[in-house]
Chains A and B, each alone.
Chain A
Amino acid sequence: MAEKTYICRADEIQVGTPFIAKVRSLSIGVFRIGDSFHALLNVCPHRGAPLCEGPQCGTTAPVEGPEFIYHRENEIVRCAWHGWEFDIKSGTALVNPSVRARTFAVTVEAGGIYVTA
């Protein structure tokens, strides 16, 4: 049964430095993108590496030719080991959306971050 757990104060999470929290036996990374917060299980669905300890970054947009459009800044996390890119909001892998990192609902109440897991 999922329950809501207090993680930290919202101002403790900066863009680029997710808060890695322990919720029961789960390691969960809480990311800030602008003013919104998103939580991902800190386990990469590829090989089980610490997904949330990689860089929070952007990526190149799909294009038809040799053009490099850097976009979605801070919306992507690259897994700490093998560099697979995941959409922080949806948990989906960019190279194959059927591969998903587990996501959790995040709520902000009175300046505190809560994750439902």
Chain B
Amino acid sequence: MFIVDCDCHNYWSSATVLEPYLSGVWKDMFIEGEKTGPVGAFPHGHRPWFHPQDFSRKDVRPKVEADNYLIMKDKHLDKYDIGVAILTGDEPIEASTLANPYYASALVSAYNDYQINEWLPKDSRFMGSIVIAPQDPRLAAAEIRRLGAHPRMAQVLASQGSVRPYGDPFYHPIFEACAEVGLPFAIHLGGHGGINWNAVAPAPTTFFWETHAILHMSAMSHVASMIAHGVFEKWPDLYFVLIECGIAWVPSVLWRLDADYKALRKETPWLKMLPSEYSRRNIRFSTQPLEQPSNVNHLWAILEAMDGENTLLFASDYPHWDYDDVNTLHIPPEWRGKVLGQNALDVYKRIPRPQAAAAA
């Protein structure tokens, strides 16, 4: 079976690995400036809550920088025969929390170059993500165009935390650039903090598990906003991928969007289809973390309602604490071929087809 892991985090032991990829004032600020985390941490506006046990699996303990790849290869890529792993970085998407958009853009550019030079060559199974700092969409679009032709860049990646819902016309330069270079726009859980202060509607939450369990609230906003603002009318071939944002909420939100749109379509006269039809055509959801009801049939009924066989993409979230492995993914067995790999081929067009065909 051909397996595509849409969320494989490439770690570093210290953010100082970015130093060779920064220059001028940004390098100066990176080395000399204030950092919010421990020494060597990547600069970001800190979130109000914190993980009580660290984010990483406890059986993944790199001692030197090279271990980050070697352990991933041993405990994940080889162990589960992953065909393609799309690298999603880790700390870099937190650049979206910084108020200084110029510094944030310099940081993600440095990360993207580091990823291309130091991660992609390690393993032919790797595809990369162009990480952007969305708080200045013009700079983000420039970064997308700078690297958009790279054959091993699979997607454009931003954090789920943002200053506005992503459908807002403010962000449209990003989608224009994505469409131009032919890459999907993906958001990954994170970036809640700093200028993205409105992590969830009422106010910041207190505890990590409480927060993690309801982080899909902002994903709901993004889905509604992307559809309502007509992003998928302007760019009908654009895929919007939600990584680590939960699944079970999707049908209920789409049911509500369809019902309300039918009554109030005059607000958004540019739409030509029902919200659920745009979602089915243009939006994909990663599996990790799948909800875990005590009766799995309750989950499967929901997955059925969102056409999960065709709209779900496998993600492991390696090496984070809520990692899912291929073998224990709770989806209907007859969907496994599509969800574990084939659906990703529709979205990530740069995955080499011979590689996929040989393994399928």
Interface residue ranges, A against B (CB under 8 Å): 47-50, 53-55, 78-83
Contact = CB atoms under 8 A, between A and B. Distances in A.
A54 B58 contact: yes
Given A48-B328, A83-B53, A78 B58 contact: yes
Interface in B51-98: 53, 57-59
Given A81-B321, A83-B321, A50 B59 contact: yes
Contacts of B57: 49, 80-81
Contacts of A81: 57-59, 321-323
A39 to B, nearest CB: 18
B325 interface: yes
A78 B323 CA distance: 15
Contacts of A49: 57, 59, 323, 325
A82 B328 contact: no
Interface in B308-343: 321-325, 327-328
Contacts of B322: 81-82
Nearest to B289: A82
Given A49-B59, A55-B53, A78-B58, 9 more contacts: A47-B328, A48-B325, A49-B57, A49-B325, A54-B58, A79-B58, A80-B58, A81-B57, A82-B323
A6 to B, nearest CB: 25
B59 A53 contact: yes
A83 B59 CA distance: 11
A47 B323 CA distance: 10
A80 B59 contact: yes
A82 B328 CA distance: 13
Nearest to B329: A47
A49 B58 CA distance: 10
B325 A54 contact: no
A42 B53 CA distance: 20
B177 to A, nearest CB: 37
A55 B323 CA distance: 17
12 contacts: A48-B325, A48-B328, A54-B58, A55-B53, A79-B58, A80-B57, A80-B58, A81-B58, A81-B322, A81-B323, A83-B53, A83-B321
Instruction: Enumerate the 9 nearest inter-chain pairs by beta-carbon distance, A residue then B residue, closest first.
Output: A53-B59, A80-B59, A80-B58, A54-B58, A47-B328, A50-B59, A81-B57, A81-B323, A80-B57
B289 to A, nearest CB: 9
A67 B67 CA distance: 40
Contacts of A47: 324-325, 328
A108 to B, nearest CB: 27
A82 B53 CA distance: 10
B194 to A, nearest CB: 26
A53 B323 contact: no
A68 B328 CA distance: 35
